[in-house]
């Protein structure tokens, strides 16, 4: 078995052990690595979106419309709620996506005062390409872990997240 590689978190933990041996640094080390992972993985995920000319938020809108199923349309407030975004924030994203020809606003057949947001053919094609690249990228990111470790990581992260969400 190979030597354990010392990383920046190990170096910080060693400093705290030296300065404050009375404190247990295990939690700090685990959460420090999770924070670093979030930063590094976030950048790798974002790179797929930017390679296709999208920002993460724009991808999120297109993906929400795509996974809603045919006819790939939702009302703006439902879309904002799905993405946990303010109505004003949603308007800005929709404006950019509409200008790019990826979505269109259409009158709601059930209520002429309301509108729906729909993927255009171009938007549907783009999100299908981007989401394929996105899934492949995520698989590549996790490929260093054997299947049983991925399942264990999923179980542990699910447990931690459920407990933290319960506190809120």
pLDDT tens for residues 64-80?
999 999 999 998 888 98
Across residues 25-46, what is the average pLDDT? 94
Q: Residue 2: which pLDDT band, with cuts at 50, 70 and 90? A: low
Better pLDDT: 48 or 24: 48
What pTM did the predictor assign? 0.85
Distance, CA of 18 to CA of 11 (rounded, Å): 11
pLDDT value at 164 more than 80: yes
Q: Distance between CA 65 and CA 68 in Å, rounded?
A: 5
């Amino acid at each position: 078995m190979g030597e354990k590689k010392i990383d920046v978190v190990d170096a910080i933990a060693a400093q705290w052990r030296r300065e404050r041996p009375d404190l247990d640094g295990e939690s700090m080390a685990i959460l420090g690595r999770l924070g670093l992972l979030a930063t590094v993985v976030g950048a790798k995920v974002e790179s797929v979106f930017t390679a296709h000319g999208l920002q993460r938020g724009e991808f999120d809108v297109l993906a929400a419309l795509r996974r809603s199923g045919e006819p790939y349309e939702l009302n703006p407030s439902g879309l904002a709620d799905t993405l946990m975004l303010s109505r004003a924030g949603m308007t800005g994203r929709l404006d950019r996506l509409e200008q790019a020809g990826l979505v269109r606003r259409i009158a709601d057949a059930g209520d002429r005062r309301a509108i729906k947001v729909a993927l255009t053919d171009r938007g549907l094609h783009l999100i299908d390409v981007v989401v394929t690249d996105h899934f492949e990228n995520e698989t590549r990111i996790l490929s260093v872990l054997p299947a049983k470790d991925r399942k264990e990581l999923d179980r542990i992260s699910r447990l931690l997240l459920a407990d933290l969400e319960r506190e809120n």
